[in-house]
């Protein structure tokens, strides 16, 4: 630090000291008073609210003989004796999950899909509790972030009590309530904001839709295991599945038209599998009326959207508008959406996967899911939450996938073959012609250059040294077999743009000059699109 000149200021005079002392005393008094006021407010609020939740529930149920279960509430001095119920109050017993179980054990990057087992997260003996009207739980603070195993355990205990131990009355389905105490509220993946009926300070009263919670408690505690097989889920939820489900496939095209042709082929592939679901396509104003016509005749119902910017991304960056996917949560005409990126072909029906809860998807890296294909549950309040939080929560890669993983850390794992990536690890002996896609996959996700940016008989990923790991003649054929059956009106959206055309021929020339050993550059192209530039 630089030496400063000796101070020339005068020392404090006596009156100044008196003045300062008064100021300090006054301030201390003021602070004490303020503290008391705050304290009173807090006490008042807490007592008022703890009565309020009871009053609220009693009013909803129409009586005061309410059976209450307490979860994670050891400090009996505060709550139980203040609950003026004429029913019973029970404390729910369960062993706290051992500390050795970390979030990364519940969300491993890779699992053996046929054999993996999740760590034990203890639950209460549910037979010990029944005829419950309300479950009151203290939620651990989120000081350890959203990926806290104990917080998850408490939420799962509540969810299970609600569906297994609710009061039964012959023939009548009665409401059952959950009250969460704690600043952060319950986990939104389990207890949706839609079911929040009253929120006051640290108190959150939910009236959960039990059909949803029932699906959720059938899921493993994390993505450490695949979702249980569909027949099992179907049996557990059998009766409820009889009503006409509000379910749809959805995709999105925005900002450029380069994915329009992909979306057309995607629709054709889903329809060919005789789906009973609606097909919804979100499009922004960049998609021309001609493209919209092609997409409609392919089978999509179009919803016009305004695209959504990632506030943290650079202007004009490739993923600046990727948050447009958040609009999927606005599709509240449906309970569930299977979202599929436009660079997919579905090869086996996915209709049965709608039985799972959201978010279900395949794993990506670390503890994350891949947002290229995901089952989600639209909800207006969730949409609003996603819109608000995007200003403060950052995505690890700037894309929607990173953001959604921050917002939905508790997701459910689908088999990898539901979103089979055309990726052939160069270090894994997958060289050259062995790039074959297995026949039992559900859907193929075309990475790298898209088939419609290349030719019928030519996957142009072969020609780019960086893209060769995405090249696959078998995957390419599957895509074009779908395209072949499209109408001319649809196919008109599948011509190469001048940029695509130039890239193709430049790369092919380079591949020839380099004498690439896979020899694809020798193929004579017969695709009629060769002469149909845009
Ligand atoms: C779809 O339905 C048609 C007509 O009923 C049938 O011929 C075809 O085999 C079905 N396809 C699939 C994949 O089930
Ligand atoms: C963002 O969207 C673009 C175009 O739709 C896509 O190519 C890209 O992979 C997306 N990026 C991320 C990180 O999701
Ligand atoms: C190109 O590679 C093949 C082997 O893959 C070789 O027989 C041929 O001589 C090479 N041609 C040139 C011009 O290097």
Alpha helices in 146-301 (DSSP H): 149-165, 210-217, 230-236, 260-272, 289-298
H or E stretch at 420: strand 420-421
Q: pLDDT tens digits, residue range 473-495?
A: 999 999 999 999 999 999 999 99
The pLDDT score that the predictor gives to residue 476 is 96
The pLDDT score that the predictor gives to residue 454 is 93
The confidence band for 242, taking pLDDT boundaries of 50, 70 and 90, is low
Q: Within the chain, how many helices (H) and strands (E) appear?
A: 12, 16
User: In the chain, how long is the greatest CA-to-CA distance?
Assistant: 100
The pLDDT score that the predictor gives to residue 41 is 44
Ligand 1 centroid, distance to 271 Cα (angstroms): 10
CA 184 – CA 201 distance, rounded (Å): 10
Q: pLDDT tens digits, residue range 407-463?
A: 999 999 999 999 999 999 877 765 545 788 988 999 999 999 999 999 998 899 999
Ligand 1 centroid, distance to 274 Cα (angstroms): 6
Residue with the smallest CA separation from ligand 2 atom 1 is 319
The pLDDT score that the predictor gives to residue 233 is 76
CA 418 – CA 440 distance, rounded (Å): 10
Nearest-ligand number for the alpha carbon of 255 = 2
Residue with the smallest CA separation from ligand 1 atom 11 is 273
Pocket of ligand 2 (CB under 6 A): 318-319, 322, 397, 399-401
Q: Which atom of ligand 2 is nearest to the CA of 397?
A: 13
Q: pLDDT tens digits, residue range 366-406?
A: 999 999 999 999 999 999 999 999 999 988 888 899 999 99
The yes-or-no verdict on residue 286 having pLDDT over 70 is yes
The confidence band for 302, taking pLDDT boundaries of 50, 70 and 90, is very high
Specify the residue for token string 């008109």. 492
| Burial of residue 105 (number of CB atoms within 10 Å: 0-12, 13-18, 19+) | middle
- Residue 294 sits at φ, ψ, to 5 deg, of -60, -45
Q: Which atom of ligand 1 is nearest to the CA of 274?
A: 1
Q: Which atom of ligand 2 is nearest to the CA of 400?
A: 14
Could you write out the three-class secondary structure of 448-502?
CCCHHHCECCECHHHHCCCCHHHCCHHHHHHHHHHHHCCCHHHHHHHCCCHHHHH
Contact present, 502 and 480 (Cβ < 8 Å): no
The pLDDT score that the predictor gives to residue 237 is 72
173 lines ligand 3 (CB under 6 A): no
CA 210 – CA 404 distance, rounded (Å): 25
CB atoms within 10 A of CB 24: 10
77 lines ligand 3 (CB under 6 A): no
Ligand 1 centroid, distance to 275 Cα (angstroms): 10
The pLDDT score that the predictor gives to residue 515 is 92
Ligand 3 centroid, distance to 515 Cα (angstroms): 6
Overall average pLDDT of the 110-137 stretch? 95
CA 223 – CA 106 distance, rounded (Å): 6
Nearest to 534 by CA among 494, 489, 479: 494
CA 395 from centre of chain:
13
Ligand 2 centroid, distance to 286 Cα (angstroms): 16
Alpha helices in 62-135 (DSSP H): 103-106
The confidence band for 241, taking pLDDT boundaries of 50, 70 and 90, is low
Q: pLDDT tens digits, residue range 179-191?
A: 999 998 999 999 9
Residue with the smallest CA separation from ligand 1 atom 6 is 274
Alpha helices in 7-102 (DSSP H): 14-61
CA 92 – CA 69 distance, rounded (Å): 6
4 lines ligand 3 (CB under 6 A): no
Ligand 1 binding pocket mutation candidate from 268, 274, 276, 442 (most atoms within 8 A of CB):
274
The yes-or-no verdict on residue 3 having pLDDT over 50 is no
Two tokens, residue 349: 């029906």
Two tokens, residue 408: 């939905």
CB atoms within 10 A of CB 146: 18
Residue with the smallest CA separation from ligand 2 atom 13 is 399
Specify the residue for token string 């089978």. 299
Ligand 1 centroid, distance to 490 Cα (angstroms): 22
The mean pLDDT of the chain is 87
Cis check for the bond before 359: say yes or no (omega within 30 of 0): yes
Sheet containing 443-445: order of strands: 344-346, 443-445, 420-421
Distances (CA, A) of 176 to 298, 435, 472: 45, 54, 53
Overall average pLDDT of the 249-263 stretch? 97
The pLDDT score that the predictor gives to residue 4 is 41
The pLDDT score that the predictor gives to residue 7 is 42
Ligand 2 centroid, distance to 373 Cα (angstroms): 13
Which range (67-71, 75-79, 152-156, 433-437) has the least confidence? 75-79
CA 132 – CA 85 distance, rounded (Å): 12
- Pairing mode, strands 336-340 and 247-253: parallel
Contact present, 94 and 29 (Cβ < 8 Å): no
Nearest-ligand number for the alpha carbon of 511 = 3
Q: Which atom of ligand 2 is nearest to the CA of 259?
A: 5
Nearest-ligand number for the alpha carbon of 517 = 3
Q: pLDDT tens digits, residue range 323-355?
A: 999 999 999 999 999 999 999 999 999 999 999
Ligand 3 centroid, distance to 509 Cα (angstroms): 15
Ligand 3 centroid, distance to 512 Cα (angstroms): 10
The pLDDT score that the predictor gives to residue 240 is 56
Contact present, 65 and 87 (Cβ < 8 Å): yes
């Amino acid at each position: 630090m630089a030496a400063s000149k000796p101070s020339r200021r005068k020392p404090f005079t006596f009156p100044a000291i008196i003045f300062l002392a008064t100021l300090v005393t006054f301030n201390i008094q003021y602070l004490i008073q303020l503290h008391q006021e705050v304290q009173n407010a807090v006490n008042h609020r807490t007592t008022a609210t703890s009565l309020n939740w009871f009053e609220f529930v009693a009013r909803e149920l129409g009586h005061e003989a309410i059976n209450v279960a307490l979860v994670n509430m050891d400090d009996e001095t505060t709550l139980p004796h203040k609950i003026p119920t004429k029913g019973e109050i029970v404390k729910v017993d369960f062993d706290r999950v051992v500390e050795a179980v970390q979030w990364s054990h519940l969300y491993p990057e890779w699992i053996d899909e046929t054999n993996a087992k999740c760590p034990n997260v203890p639950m209460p003996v549910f037979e010990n509790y029944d005829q419950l009207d309300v479950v009151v739980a203290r939620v651990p603070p989120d000081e350890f972030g959203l990926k806290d195993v104990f917080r998850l355990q408490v939420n799962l205990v509540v969810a299970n009590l609600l569906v297994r131990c609710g009061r039964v009355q012959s023939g009548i389905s009665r409401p059952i309530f959950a009250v969460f105490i704690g600043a952060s509220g319950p986990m939104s993946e389990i207890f949706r904001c839609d079911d929040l009926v009253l929120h006051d300070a640290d108190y959150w009263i939910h009236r959960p839709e039990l059909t949803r919670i029932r699906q959720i408690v059938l899921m493993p505690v994390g993505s450490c295991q695949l979702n249980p097989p569909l027949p099992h889920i179907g049996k557990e939820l059998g009766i409820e599945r009889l009503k006409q489900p509000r379910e749809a496939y959805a995709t999105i095209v925005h900002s450029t038209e380069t994915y329009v042709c992909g979306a057309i082929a995607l629709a054709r592939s889903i329809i060919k599998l005789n789906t009973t679901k609606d097909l919804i396509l979100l499009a922004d104003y960049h998609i021309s009326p001609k493209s919209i016509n092609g997409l409609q005749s392919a089978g999509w119902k179009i919803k016009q959207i305004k695209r959504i910017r990632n506030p943290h991304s650079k202007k004009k960056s490739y993923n600046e508008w990727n948050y447009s996917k958040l609009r999927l949560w606005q599709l509240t005409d449906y309970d569930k959406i299977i979202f599929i990126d436009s660079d997919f072909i579905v090869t086996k029906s996915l209709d049965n996967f709608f039985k799972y809860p959201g978010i279900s998807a395949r794993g990506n890296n670390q503890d994350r899911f891949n947002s290229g294909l995901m089952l989600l549950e639209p909800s207006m309040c969730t949409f609003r939450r996603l819109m608000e939080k995007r200003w403060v929560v950052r995505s690890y890669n700037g894309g929607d996938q990173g953001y959604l993983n921050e917002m939905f850390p508790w997701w459910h794992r689908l088999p990898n073959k539901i979103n089979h990536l055309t990726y052939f690890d160069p270090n894994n002996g997958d060289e050259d012609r062995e790039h074959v896609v297995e026949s039992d996959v559900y859907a193929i996700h075309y990475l790298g250059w898209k088939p419609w940016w290349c030719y019928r008989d030519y996957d142009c990923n072969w020609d780019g040294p960086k893209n060769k790991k995405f090249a696959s003649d078998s995957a390419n054929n599957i895509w074009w077999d779908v395209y072949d059956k499209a109408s001319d009106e649809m196919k008109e959206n599948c011509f190469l743009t001048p940029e695509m055309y130039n890239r193709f021929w430049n790369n092919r020339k380079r591949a020839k000059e380099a004498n690439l050993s896979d020899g694809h550059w020798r193929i004579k192209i017969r695709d009629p699109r060769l002469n149909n530039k845009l």
